[in-house]
Amino acid sequence: MFRPKVVILGAGFGGLTAARALDRIADVTLIDRHNFQTFLPLLYQVSTAGLAADHIAHPVRGALRKSKVKFRMGSPLSIDHKNKSIKLDSSEDIPFDYLIVALGSATNDFGVKGVAEHALGMKTVSEALTIRASIMRRFEDLCRFEDDTRLSISVVGGGPTGVEMAGAIAELKKGPLTSDQPEAAANIVVNLIEAGPRLLPSFSQSLSDRTIKDLQKLGVNVYTNANVQEVKPRQILLKDGTAIPSEITIWAAGVTGEPAIKKLNLPIEAGRLKVDPTLQVSNYPEIFAIGDVAGAKGENGRPLPMVAPVAMQQARFVAKQIAALVSRRPLGNFKYRDKGSMATIGRHKAVVEVGPIRLGGAIAWYAWLWLHLFYLLGGRNKIGTMADWTWNYLTFDRGNRHIIDIN
Ligand SMILES: Cc1cc2nc3c(=O)[nH]c(=O)nc-3n(C[C@H](O)[C@H](O)[C@H](O)COP(=O)(O)OP(=O)(O)OC[C@H]3O[C@@H](n4cnc5c(N)ncnc54)[C@H](O)[C@@H]3O)c2cc1C
């Protein structure tokens, strides 16, 4: 039977799942600028010293060991649409019968002044290590000053990433840093700034309210209806004129399609690739887009959320679409099955929403731990993560407080 050549751009949640699903029926080449997959949902734990960075990064070649999928480290420069091949920055031209674009997303600053210059992003392992180094270096300054100098750390964005990040910083302050030097830790202020009226807007009102209360119990100052006008070197300026001191600003306010898609000469709508319900890029039937980079819409006509389950379901769906094209069967339309959402706030504090079921507190927290461990790639990473979590849980310590400069 004809085995099509399939090239996949991006070895994240979507790309890696698609590569494995297609291995049986196609000659697959997977391309990524990194030689590892990043488990983004646990990135905030690397930023806050809860996990070692290498526990959330899994080598792509290791993930593909039992398959025939080829891996190339590189980035796309352009697509030759006429000859159906893709040019990489490694000087290779790779031909394809079908192309899957799964390049993920990048931080969206929504045009707010000063974000690129003065805020820290939360999208890569190196950014997570930069956040950790910034917090720990400023903490060392506080220890040295031995006065009442304050260190304000602000997280902008009250979605799951911002909530998890703010909660984890507050716990870092309350536990390990207080044990290290209580007077210095007491001078750390943690802010969470959200433009909308409530945190976790995709969850029910009751879980949003619970989240605010849990964060406040941890000592986080929560600002809602707080629209950021500008990020300055040591300050955040809100649209209503309020100035919030902020030595470290972490931008977790949103993401947009990976900018590299601009090089591909494909239709873009609202920062993401324009796709048909079949997940084919509009007017390019041999090219599919999945995950964060794809602007697929749900039944309500609104873009699907940028979350891992969407990317993974779309990856398996596109593998079936390609199988259908090879055997000349008609294509179907993608439908997302939303299995629920969860976010953790701190020790024994999390929220889970699955259809009408709403959970908070310790049960939700254990569910969150188990699910993340289940989806983490690689036995070594699972064992390392369990070891770090057990250590943190039993000792209230966090062993990854090193200042490692990576730039
Ligand atoms: C901090 C954070 C926390 C999150 N937490 C959750 C969560 O708890 N639950 C959840 O469901 N979702 C979460 N998400 C969202 C989830 O991670 C994404 O929706 C998911 O990763 C999308 O999968 P993807 O395959 O589209 O992109 P990704 O998994 O991001 O993969 C994209 C891949 O493309 C590669 N790439 C990008 N640009 C280039 C280029 N120019 N050249 C070559 N390669 C390139 C990248 O290296 C990456 O490997 C979180 C995201 C972030 C940033």
Average pLDDT along the chain, 407 residues, taken 10 residues at a time: 94 98 98 97 97 96 96 97 96 97 96 97 96 97 91 97 98 96 97 97 94 97 98 97 97 96 97 98 98 96 95 98 97 96 95 93 94 93 95 93 83
Nearest CA to ligand 1 atom 27: 104
Binning the chain into helix, strand and coil, the percentages to the nearest 5 are 35, 25, 35
> Which residues, other chains included, contact 144 with Cβ-Cβ below 8 Å and sequence gap of 6+?
none
- The residue to mutate among 123, 124, 307, having the most atoms of ligand 1 within 8 angstroms of its beta carbon, is 307
> Residue for token digits 């731990």?
369
> Residue for token digits 């699955």?
354
> Which residues, other chains included, contact 222 with Cβ-Cβ below 8 Å and sequence gap of 6+?
158, 191, 192, 194, 199, 212, 215, 216
Which tokens belong to 403?
């200042």
Residue 333: predicted pLDDT: 98
Nearest CA to ligand 1 atom 52: 40
- The residue to mutate among 43, 103, 342, having the most atoms of ligand 1 within 8 angstroms of its beta carbon, is 103
Which tokens belong to 260?
């590299």
- The residue to mutate among 31, 40, 290, 372, having the most atoms of ligand 1 within 8 angstroms of its beta carbon, is 40
> Residue for token digits 């025939």?
68
Closest atom of ligand 1 to CA, residue 343: 8
For helices 13-22 and 308-326, give the axis angle rounded to 10 degrees.
Answer: 30
| Helices assigned H by DSSP within 76-124 | 115-118
Q: Are strands 27-32 and 5-9 parallel, antiparallel or unpaired?
A: parallel
CB 32 within 8 A of CB 76: no
Which tokens belong to 25?
């029926």
> CB count, 10 Å around CB of 176?
22
Distance CA 292, CA 273 (A): 9
Q: Which residue among 127, 164, 194, 258 is the active-site one?
A: 164
- Tell me the three state secondary structure of residue 80: strand
CB 295 within 8 A of CB 272: yes
| Strands annotated E in 175-314 | 188-193, 220-223, 228-232, 235-238, 243-245, 248-251, 255-257, 268-269, 272-273, 280-281, 284-289
> Residue for token digits 């007017």?
283
Which tokens belong to 201?
């807007």
How far does residue 211's CA lie from ligand 1's centre (Å)?
A: 25
How far does residue 103's CA lie from ligand 1's centre (Å)?
A: 8
Residue 405: predicted pLDDT: 79
> Residue for token digits 């593998």?
319
Which residue ranges have their beta carbon within 6 Å of ligand 1?
Answer: 10-15, 32-34, 37, 40-41, 43-44, 75, 102-104, 122-123, 160-161, 258, 260, 291-293, 306-309, 311
Q: Are strands 70-73 and 27-32 parallel, antiparallel or unpaired?
A: parallel
Sheet holding 284-289, edge to edge: 70-73, 27-32, 5-9, 98-101, 284-289, 280-281
Distance CA 402, CA 123 (A): 20
Q: Is 164 a catalytic residue?
A: yes
How far does residue 17's CA lie from ligand 1's centre (Å)?
A: 13
Query: What Cα–Cα distance (Å) separates residue 344 from each residue in 200, 224, 321?
Result: 11, 19, 36
- Tell me the three state secondary structure of residue 70: strand
Residue 287: predicted pLDDT: 98
> Which residues, other chains included, contact 370 with Cβ-Cβ below 8 Å and sequence gap of 6+?
none
Nearest CA to ligand 1 atom 17: 40
Q: Which residues face 303 on adjacent strands?
A: 297
Residue 407: predicted pLDDT: 65
Type of residue found at 107: T
Closest atom of ligand 1 to CA, residue 306: 19
Residue 6: predicted pLDDT: 98
Our measurement of the distance from residue 42's CA atom to the centroid of its chain's CA atoms, rounded to an integer in Å, reads 8
